A and B are shown apart, each in its own frame.
Chain A
Amino acid sequence: GEEVAQTPKHLVRGEGQKAKLYCAPIKGHSYVFWYQQVLKNEFKFLISFQNENVFDETGMPKERFSAKCLPNSPCSLEIQATKLEDSAVYFCASSQKPDGTGLTFGSGTRLTVV
């Protein structure tokens, strides 16, 4: 499709529970990025993929966050044992080629940890 599709739109988890977010990039886009937007609007880069390969994971908290982009499946971002500070909106974005022309963003998944 022509949009980056993120599911679910909203997710509520109790502290310590697992959260799994999904992202279907635009067809033909080889590059996928995950960002976390916390309360004060700031965007924090988490991880990027080129097809199914991790390209840059410098922003990923090592212990509880993981992500995958497998062939013929939506990409996923998983948080094990969620904490209150994981509450944020998680955005996925995709691009066709790494030429600096920008990214197309999905509408985000709002994760609330209670």
Chain B
Amino acid sequence: GDSVTQMEGPVTLSEEAFLTINCTYTATGYPSLFWYVQYPGEGLQLLLKATKADDKGSNKGFEATYRKETTSFHLEKGSVQVSDSAVYFCALQMNSGNTPLVFGKGTRLSVIA
């Protein structure tokens, strides 16, 4: 079945450091890809998305590019802030039908001042 694999955490960075969280997927077709963020005690918020190959999703300084050749959707940010501390989930959704999101296991990011 379809699946998402993302790097194990936790990831601890100093403020202003560069962030990469790796995500790869396995799917039978061509899914849409997402990054969701969960701040402590809150629900999931959509951070960014890409619906086809070579699309780049971006929001709040975060970016991810849909790479079909490597089946990847790595999340990057050039300079993290303490307020970025959260759990980040990579997910895919097939484009046809009422299909559920398939999530990775989440990566906890802690940014220290």
Contact = CB atoms under 8 A, between A and B. Distances in A.
B100 A33 contact: yes
Contact of B96 (A41, A59, A98): A98
Nearest to B46: A102
Interface in B1-45: 31-32, 34, 36, 38, 42-45
B74 interface: no
A105 B51 CA distance: 19
Nearest to B101: A103
B105 interface: yes
Contacts of A103: 46, 93, 101
Interface in B65-113: 87, 89, 93-103, 105-106, 108
Interface residues of B, number: 28
Contact of B95 (A35, A41, A99): A99
Interface residues on A, range: 20 to 34
A106 B97 CA distance: 22
Interface stretch (A43-51, A63-71, A77-85): A43-51
Contacts of A98: 96-99
Contact of B43 (A41, A56, A59, A107): A107
A39 to B, nearest CB: 12
Contacts of A48: 98, 100
A88 to B, nearest CB: 13
Nearest to B105: A42
A100 interface: yes
A67 B45 CA distance: 24
Contacts of A59: 100
Contacts of A99: 95
20 contacts: A31-B98, A40-B105, A41-B87, A41-B105, A41-B106, A42-B103, A42-B105, A43-B101, A45-B101, A45-B102, A100-B31, A100-B51, A100-B99, A101-B51, A102-B34, A102-B49, A102-B101, A103-B93, A105-B43, A105-B44
